[in-house]
A and B are shown apart, each in its own frame.
Chain A
Amino acid sequence: MNTWLLSILILSPLLGVLVLLFTPSQDEKSIKWIGILGTLFPLGTALVTLSAFNKSGEGLQLAEKFQWVSYEVFQSNGDVSYPIFYEVGVNGLSMVLILLTTVVSVLAAIASFSIKKDWKSYFILFFLLEMGMIGVFAAQNLFLFFIFFEITLIPMFFLIGRWGYLEKEKAAYSFLIYNGVGSAILLIAFVAMFMKTGTMNFEQLAYTFSLPQSELNDMHITKNFKMGMLIALLLAFAVKLPVAPLHSWMVRVHVQAPPPIVMLHSGILLKIGAYGLIVFGAGLFPDQFESLAFIIGLFGVINLLYGAFLALTQRDMKRVLAYSSVSHMGIVLIGLAALNEAGMTGAVFQVVSHGLISALLFFLVGVLYERAGSSLLKDFGGVAKRMPIFAGVLLAGGLASLGLPGMSGFISEFMAFLGLFETMPVLAAVGTLGLILTAVYVLRAVLAITFGTEKELTNAHDLSSTERIPAFILLAAILFIGLYPAWLSDMLRPTLDSILLGLGG
């Protein structure tokens, strides 16, 4: 059973696709239910995987490996055959992210009530997207990673471009072009690494690159090559994360895409950037990563402050949240740049925590848009009167976002800064300015909606019982991680330790 578990998990969203193909497209009600149930199956599989996963175990678990493609290259000294494997596996880090993916997917599917047309194709694309996301985190070689990485792009493009708001096409193209460029850089880097080393497996690559320079010279791998590869990878994932000034596509997507898709996008797709930075950046080229740490940290602080400053004067709640995502991704970079256990853990915590928080906040914005047909701050005021639960959850989400203790945001910020203060105290001190600014913009936006004199809304009823499910589950998860971080940090420790070993920290 366990030998196939991971493949079943990756392919599990396809079951929903299969069922949907045989459902008449007019039958909206059953499609909706299939949509929700179809995401429950991957969640169940992910939970089974979690139970099969040894939390304190080192290295890769539940690994599968088959030869997939093989081709031969004619060389003067005989033919060399290059096999390409299908290899998947999970470690603590990818297990956490897969779990996050399946959970957020379920909630996003429930939140899809705001979708008004073409349910069938919507959910088919939705499932494909979910498969791509799970696959990205489970893939254990460059080839498979790249394939799944690309699989996420295409459904996303259509989901934005077809079901989004007014300027959806522009946003979709913007998304595709930026990410296409990122993928191109990624592909070039992957091909170059494969050519030099002859392997695509993450662990073998890491081993090869960690060999002493004298042996690497035989493979024509110079220090400059490694540095160049690292920079290419950083660039590719910086687009995804996104790192300022490569963020404008992401703001557009956040504003234009439908709320459930933004939940997925902000909750998980952005995290692929962070995952890539950890696995490829710090994992494959630790020495080079170390020498670039200051620049990464600098970019982290810039991201944090830049996003916060821009979020301060936005008039649209969605844009506030979009820039707050930019800002919060800065904390991931800050944690990574710290090059120590605290920082690294903080970065991963921020990945998970921001995934949950932004999913919650975008869900709430979706609810708001559903009620009022707008997300401009000036159209709201005193919502707490008619929608007290909504207002309470929104405030709680905002507080989590600004890092209130007891919620997941605090743990991640705390650990990321704790880490950075050890290695670069001055930079970290500048970064703490971001904590103040975050409080300012979050409260400004949240209070503008919930507090103040009441403005008439066309349809101001509080969260319905279906809407409460995602809101309360996300809030509970945020509180759980905030109160009991050991659950997550214990699972991550073996993976992060092995990465840190490479970093010599």
Chain B
Amino acid sequence: MLQNSWLIPLFPLLSFVLLLIFRKSKGEGTAWIGVLLTGLSLILSLGVWIAVWQGDGIKVEGTWFEIGERAITIGYEVNPLNALMLVIVSLVSFLVHLYSKGYMHGDERFPVFFAYLGLFSFAMLGLVLSPNLLQLYMFWELVGLGSFLLIGFYYFKSEAKAAAKKAFVMTRIGDVGLFIGMVLLFWQVGSFEYDEIFASVRNGDISSGMLTLTALCIFVGAIGKSGQLPLHTWLPDAMEGPTPVSALIHAATMVAAGVYLVAAMYPLFQASETALTVVAVVGGVTAIFAASIGLMQKDIKRVLAYSTVSQLGYMMLALGASGYVAGIFHLTTHAFFKALLFLAAGSVIHAVHTQNIDEMGGLWKKLRLTGPLFLIGALAISGVPLLSGFFSKDEILASTYADGRYGLFWLAVVAAFMTAFYMFRLFFLVFTGKPRGDQSGVHESPSVMTLPMIVLGVLAIVAGYLNTAWFGTFLTDFLAGGPVELAHGDHHGPSWIPIVATAASFLGIGLAYLIYKKGTLSRDWITRSLPGLSNVIYNKWYVDEGYDATFVKGTKGLSKLGVLFDKYIVDGLVAAVVSGVQGLSKVGSRIQNGQVQTYGTFAIFGIVILLLIVALTGGYFT
């Protein structure tokens, strides 16, 4: 099974190629190519996972090309961490393929959509299987390409065009950080291999300053991909893509790649206390920052997008606070419940043809399957006990506390409260109350769409039992087989932490209930009491505007300056040389006046000057 794991990414690639060839076919049976091939990937991934569970692992590499004496290798590697990722990615990818069959029904570029999904799945699975940083970087960029193509799938919409461009450029900024970190590490270690990098780190071959620098550079890459502060602005805009894409790429897999990167390079981060602190702080601040924006958004997908940013911040916080397992655990559970939420949101959008929550309401009765499934997702993400989100969030809080980062701990608790609040604000506004828009043609989605949601709903409930203090720490044991030495075996700090977390989430749900269901509290009492702050939050802290005013304007200004420089200085210099030559030739032609006497005069002066030179320098014949 393990020897064939290189096939896992190739199935979706085959799907990409096949679907591009058949892109003109009219029927929607082409979707089954994608579904079938990702299904094969899923089966193989599960097989690989089981093999790894039994303690196996594999690493195969061959030379790709050589630089001098150094061979650059490519290959594949399976260890516990990426076996888990393989299952998550191929599972979500498979379900999203299936769901898209229904969601994209009637789109004129139906096969192209599935082709792009295939390309993305290929890149993501390849990224996970990479045994070295260079290969990871290559797939990392390809993943970005897949995301770019899918965000810009509705290419004729100018918002989609802008969002796709923004996503590519913003993540590219992060990628350059990763690039620098990777290359610096190469010259320190002499290889891109994870194993050799970790060996050098263990042996202390790299100075501590360099360790911190490279770890931070690599973290910049993770920031870009995972939409962490300050490179988060592309992720909400990426919601311009079709909703299944948001579920697959911008919730479950690609954005989690940043977290995966930090996890995969964890020994490097562990070696630098500064780097870990930066990771934790960026994660914690992002978690609460994005959650605060999520409180006031009106677009159902944007609320979920900010929620994703916030949850990714949680994972980063966990990793920064030495909660390696907690971070991965939350990545896993989040993949399921967030994909579920997005797919359910897609089902809602599919039904009502709008994304504005002000135009929804009262959908619970009409969408008898989507409603409960959305509720499961919302309960899971809010951290209600016994659902998956509760366990993983609890572990993050515990490890943050155990690591002694109390400030960040309380920040995370507040973020958890906010999460519960905005998720249930969303739930109540969408599914309860009176219909606020035209809902005449609303009906439940077809079974190809509900089936994936049901699977994810089940997983969103049970995935938490992978790693609990009560039933067994399967995930911890599983990941312990990997290259990372788990320093703190058990993070279960004081027993009051789960109670605090649960209280925070119930408080959030209760508040949302009071405001949006019962109407006990007026909806705009915060807006009225704190108009300035709520305005700032509503406008997403003006980050986009800030970037626009500084970086975008600055770059454009520099570019304009360059154009002027090119026009007036470079071309001006050329023009000056030209006019100089022309001036000289004018002088020359004035001497050429047709008067023999003038010619004679110049000839005489010429001879005199030559003779003088000869006389003064002592002559040629000395």
Contact = CB atoms under 8 A, between A and B. Distances in A.
Interface stretch (A51-59, A108-116, A280-288, A305-313): A305-313
Contact of A443 (B142, B165, B571): B165
A73 B53 CA distance: 85
A490 B66 CA distance: 8
Nearest to B156: A382
Contacts of A428: 183
B180 interface: yes
A127 to B, nearest CB: 32
Nearest to A448: B161
Summarize B's interface: helix, strand, loop or mixed.
helix
A245 B566 CA distance: 8
A418 interface: yes
Interface stretch (B81-89, B166-174, B442-450, B594-602): B166-174
B277 to A, nearest CB: 23
Nearest to B152: A451
Nearest to A246: B570
Interface string A389-425: 0000000000100001110001000110110011001
Contacts, number: 119
Interface stretch (A149-157, A203-211, A434-442): A434-442
B496 interface: no
Nearest to A402: B172
Contact of B172 (A313, A418, A436): A436
A451 B155 contact: yes
B588 interface: no
B68 A399 contact: no
Given A245-B570, A313-B559, A432-B176, A406 B142 contact: yes
B573 interface: yes
A69 B141 CA distance: 56
B156 A312 contact: no
By Cβ-Cβ distance, the 7 closest A-B pairs, closest first, are: A405-B138, A341-B68, A486-B65, A451-B161, A312-B559, A309-B562, A451-B155
Contact of A432 (B179, B187, B560): B179
A428 B181 CA distance: 12
Nearest to A438: B172
Contact of B183 (A384, A399, A421): A421
A489 interface: yes
Nearest to B581: A177
Interface in B119-156: 134, 137-139, 141-142, 145, 152, 155-156
A471 B160 CA distance: 27
A310 B564 CA distance: 9
B145 A443 contact: no
B186 interface: yes
Interface string A323-349: 000000000000000001110010000
- Counting chain B CB atoms within 10 Å of each CB, the highest count among A306, A406, A447 belongs to A447
Given A405-B137, A418-B186, A432-B176, 9 more contacts: A405-B139, A415-B67, A421-B180, A428-B183, A436-B176, A440-B169, A447-B161, A451-B155, A454-B156
B403 to A, nearest CB: 32
Contact of B179 (A309, A313, A435): A435
Contact of B138 (A342, A410, A447): A410
Interface range, B side: 35 or more
B134 to A, nearest CB: 8
Contacts of B176: 432-433, 435-436
Interface in A451-505: 451-454, 485-486, 489-490, 493
A101 interface: no
A404 B148 CA distance: 12
Contacts of A432: 176, 179-180
B476 to A, nearest CB: 34
Interface in B189-217: none
A447 B164 contact: yes
A452 B145 contact: no
15 contacts: A312-B559, A313-B559, A313-B563, A399-B145, A404-B142, A405-B137, A405-B139, A405-B142, A414-B134, A443-B165, A451-B160, A452-B156, A486-B63, A489-B66, A490-B65
B143 to A, nearest CB: 10
A385 interface: yes
Contact of A439 (B63, B65, B168, B555): B168
Nearest to B574: A248
Contacts of A388: 23
